């Protein structure tokens, strides 16, 4: 069989498998299987390119690797002279981004308490490239009454250049002794400024709480992040994803091919079939053109997806928040996921049918025996593949 006929038989398996397999059995060549492997790998690279180019993950400062370092160490802060501060290991936000403690600050018989974080670098909160929101968690454990005033200050280079924002409305008597999840939009209406404050150069932060009457005040702060910038996976780690996925897809094909062929060889021999290993293995390799077709259909269907945005609530891992954010992603991808599931079932049936045809031609078994042997071998190979690749 010439190289041209070998390559022609690859796609002939799709529309005329009986004729294709007869030609392959008469003159088996590994070249065709190698071409299918390459096609499958390239198709998977196209598939993962579409996925990662449509997947946008929220970037935060501190980063995910740093966790919420600003609220993991109370010595980074300064606070009201009369107050005391400590790291609280018992009461904090439990999540993958949030470390294992919060900052606690308290004072006795006072109407005001403040805490300030300085030297956080030069943070850009301006225009399209800058951070869009500031989020933090605040818990007031004492007193039980709502603060009269709560203000956030953002410093710009010096303590005399700052923006300030009143967030008193985010607190009420009903939020006493629970974690308040606050998200404040940056460079937006509601912020007032003093002197030469610059949204492109934020260097510090201050939280200030005031009550009407002298009180014993205790409050906790956790999960302080600048956020709101989304970056696609393609932009952040595209080439490494493509390389990793191409290697894993090649490995997937080789494992499925080898184990499916091996299990079929053992089973046909056990049932008295006079099977030649090379011929069977090459024929089964041609039958796996189905998973290339499956991947190309997935490329087409996933290309219809909108851009998917993975916010901090999803990646941060806080119970309840991550589930809600994940549900939104599922709603956006539900139709495509359903289509992919039905396609997967169809590919199972198609691959088994092709392998059964190949088995019958190689062994002259009955159709019933060929389908039974092939079905068992196919699903056994999937189990092995899942075990090896996880």
C-beta separation of 316 from 277 below 8 A? no
26 and 276 Cβ atoms separated by less than 8 Å:
no
Q: What is the pTM (predicted TM-score) of this model? A: 0.83
According to the model, what pLDDT value does residue 389 have?
77
pLDDT digits (tens, 9 = 90+) for 242-251: 888 888 889 9
Domain ranges (residues) in the chain: 3-59+232-389, 61-231
Split at pLDDT 50, 70, 90, the class of 2 is low
List the single range of 57-61, 191-195, 234-238, 307-311 with lowest mean pLDDT.
Answer: 234-238
pLDDT above 60 for 139: yes
Task: State the average pLDDT for the chain.
Answer: 90
Distances (CA, A) of 139 to 61, 92, 104, 106: 21, 9, 9, 12
Assigned CATH for 61-231 = 2.60.120.260
Residue 84, pLDDT > 60, answer yes
Q: From CA 331, how far away is CA 35, in angstroms rounded? A: 37
- Other CB atoms within a 10 A radius of the CB of residue 15 amount to 8
Distance CA 116, CA 138 (A): 14
> Quick check: 225 and 120 in contact, CB under 8 A?
no
Q: What is the pLDDT of residue 365?
A: 92
Share of the chain above pLDDT 70, in %: 98
Q: What tens digit of pLDDT does each residue of 322-373 get?
A: 899 999 999 999 999 999 999 999 999 999 999 999 999 999 899 999 999 9
Q: How confident is the model at residue 36 (pLDDT cuts 50, 70, 90)?
A: very high
């Amino acid at each position: 069989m010439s190289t041209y006929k070998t390559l022609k038989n690859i796609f002939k398996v799709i529309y005329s498998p009986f004729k294709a397999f007869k030609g392959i059995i008469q003159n088996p060549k590994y070249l065709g299987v190698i071409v299918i492997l390459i096609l499958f790998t390239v198709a998977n690279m196209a598939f993962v390119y579409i996925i990662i180019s449509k997947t946008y993950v929220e970037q935060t400062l501190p980063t995910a690797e740093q966790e919420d370092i600003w609220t993991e160490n109370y010595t980074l802060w300064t606070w009201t002279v009369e107050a005391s501060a400590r790291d609280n290991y018992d009461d904090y936000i439990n999540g993958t981004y949030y470390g294992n403690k919060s900052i606690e600050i308290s004072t006795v018989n006072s109407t005001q308490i403040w805490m300030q974080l300085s030297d956080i670098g030069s943070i850009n909160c301006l225009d399209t490239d800058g951070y869009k929101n500031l989020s933090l968690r605040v818990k007031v454990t004492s007193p039980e009454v709502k603060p009269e005033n709560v203000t956030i200050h953002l410093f710009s280079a010096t303590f005399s250049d700052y923006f300030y924002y009143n967030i008193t409305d985010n607190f009420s008597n009903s939020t006493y002794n629970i974690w308040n999840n606050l998200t404040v939009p940056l460079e937006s209406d509601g912020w007032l400024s003093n002197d030469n404050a610059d949204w492109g150069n934020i260097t510090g932060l201050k939280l200030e709480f005031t009550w009407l009457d002298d009180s014993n005040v205790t409050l906790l702060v956790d999960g302080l992040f600048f956020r709101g910038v989304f970056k696609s996976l393609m932009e952040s780690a595209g080439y490494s994803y493509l390389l990793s996925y191409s290697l894993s897809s090649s490995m997937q094909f080789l494992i499925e091919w080898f184990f499916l062929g091996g299990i079929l060889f053992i089973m046909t021999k056990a049932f008295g079939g006079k099977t030649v290993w090379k011929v069977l293995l090459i024929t089964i390799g041609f039958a796996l053109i189905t998973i290339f077709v499956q991947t190309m259909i997935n490329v087409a269907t996933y290309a219809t997806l909108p851009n998917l945005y993975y916010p901090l609530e999803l990646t941060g891992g806080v119970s309840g928040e991550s589930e809600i954010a994940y549900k939104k992603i599922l709603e956006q991808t539900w139709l495509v996921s359903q289509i992919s599931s039905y396609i997967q079932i169809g590919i199972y049936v198609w691959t088994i049918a092709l392998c059964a045809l190949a088995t019958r031609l190689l062994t002259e078994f009955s159709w019933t025996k060929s389908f039974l042997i092939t079905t068992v071998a196919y699903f056994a190979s999937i189990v092995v593949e899942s075990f090896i690749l996880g």
